Structure 1
């Protein structure tokens, strides 16, 4: 019997989410593939069509996510693994009023989207009396703010705090809450980066380490572990020194710049140029 039998994965269209889905399907699990790229999800579902259900809601839309969960619960029952992986990234400039829309949308997807993913399954998972895991994909970028990356860092720092709160609330139950802090993964979100990415990890290896860690009950998982050690070492420096090091690095492309990754649902003046 596989470690997980019924799983829900948001952001399953590519990168880490797709790698997680492939490995879970290979293990024999039934998997809900949640994402916005229907064609990519349909291609992924061909691996095991009888064990896949495809959903294309906006993760920040609570009603759409509740409808997705209701369909899953009706057809396959209570999941034992829910992975809130959907996320977006991009540079941010506080002085530019147009970038306020970037921050709003990033918070909606990266932070609110995790709550809307967990919420419709939580009662059913608690009442089932079975073991279950809730997994939130945060980032080492949530450990400390970085110049030009304020929106993303804020969304991931908020997510880490939210997962801490949820973990404490669920201690008396058989549900576990897992905080995943990737460093740099080789995905579309990092493809446009022009700065050094130490510890760059492929999505397949990251997915394997994530699933193994969750199955072992590890509440905090850094991918790869060495990037966590590097981040913690830098955090020991005086803040001024740390800031000076980061200021010397190229910044992540903003929404209107070359190399930026699209942010679904973003509507602001940069889109019109």
Structure 2
């Protein structure tokens, strides 16, 4: 296990986030766990109560995240690892006005939430003058838009570009920026998918590969690597052929459809969803 001393993880309540938390706590690190399910976080905290702090802010709420970061910095000082892992997924239909609220919320969590997570730690990490890493969990879905998945793909494509910009800005420092592009992980976000998921990876394996890759200084990490090769091979096809292949696949369930995963902060009422 790579040696990190103090880590912050958002989206720690499930899937990849839980696996990262367990592995970092198991390695002896101090870990701040950020998620929305207090009971789940408490169960993780029980693994190492003296080295674990838990917080339940919404990652799109800058004021709440800044309060969380202030508490972490007060007790532990600057972390050497911040993993912005919180994210939501769901289908999107541009013709449905209610889905505009879905896109807005997805951008708030998947894109803005990463910058909101990094911001209050950044200066302290720079001031420490110690090697440290900022990790953003994007997706291979950010490499190319997919039918019926425009909101998610847009949020992850925007995140990839944001991480590129941040990486360039921080080149002179000891702070590194890492873009994680998972394919399909066996988590709640993929449980409702009815389409083929090549290279489906268990969260524990993905967490090990992620931490190892960050420790090795890899700036772009695809999980698993073979799904990246497949995506790149498909990208060599003419766009019309590529689109035709994707159009033949079942689509990601949209909010409030069977198999969809909940999107925190998205109202259940159609009227409010359009506001």
Shorter-chain TM-score: which interval? over 0.9
Alpha-carbon contact 1:256-1:270 (below 8 Å) kept: no
1:256 deviates by 1.4
Q: Distance in 2 between matches of 1:268 and 1:191?
A: 21
Q: Which residue of 2 aligns with 1:83?
A: 83
State the match for 2:119 in structure 1.
Answer: 119
d(CA) in 1 for partners of 2:191 and 2:45? 25
Q: With structure 2 as the length reference, what TM-score do the two structures score?
A: 0.97
Give the corresponding residue for 2:19: 19
1:97-116 alignment, distance < 5 Å: 97-116=97-116
Q: What residue in structure 1 maps to residue 29 of structure 2? A: 29
Question: Hey, what's the Cα distance between the residues in 2 that align with 1:220 and 1:170?
Answer: 16
Residue of structure 1 in register with 2:253 after alignment: 253
3-state SS of paired residue (1:199): coil
Cα displacement (A) at 1:267: 1.9
Q: What is the Cα-based RMSD across aligned positions, in Å?
A: 1.3
Within a 5 Å distance, the mapping from 1:210-249 to structure 2 comes to 210-249=210-249
In the alignment, the residues of structure 1 paired with residue 201 and residue 65 of structure 2 have an alpha-carbon distance, to the nearest angstrom, of: 30
Output aligned runs, 1:185-224, within 5 Å.
185-224=185-224
Within-5 A mapping of 1:132-171:
132-171=132-171
Q: Which runs of 5+ in 2 are unaligned?
A: none
Question: CA separation of 1:166/1:41 partners in 2, compared to 1, >3 Å: closer, same or farther?
Answer: same
**CA, structure 1 residues 236+2, in 2 after alignment: closer, same or farther (shift >3 Å)?**
closer
1:8 aligns with 2:14: no
2:197 counterpart SS class: coil
Deviations 1:101-121 (A, max 9, x none): 000000000000000000000
Shift of 1:2: 5.8
Pairwise CA distance, 1:63 = 0.4
Report the Cα offset of residue 270 of structure 1.
3.9
1:177 aligned partner: 177
- d(CA) in 2 for partners of 1:188, 1:51: 27
1:7 offset after TM fit, Å?
A: 0.1
Corresponding residue for residue 44 of structure 1 = 44
- TM-score (ref. length: structure 1): 0.98
Q: How far does residue 28 in structure 1 lie from its aligned partner after superposition?
A: 0.1
Q: Give distance in 2, aligned partners of 1:256 and 1:137.
A: 25
How many residues of Structure 1 are paired with residues of Structure 2 in the alignment?
273
User: Shift of the alpha carbon at 1:269?
Assistant: 3.7
- Equivalent residue number for residue 267 of structure 1: 267
- Unpaired runs of 5+ residues, structure 1, are none
Cα distance in 2, alignment partners of residues 104 and 92 from structure 1: 11
SS at match of 1:240: helix
> 1:2, 1:29 within 8 Å by CA — same for their partners in 2?
no
Give the Cα–Cα distance (whole angstroms) in 2 for the partners of residues 271 and 124 of structure 1: 43
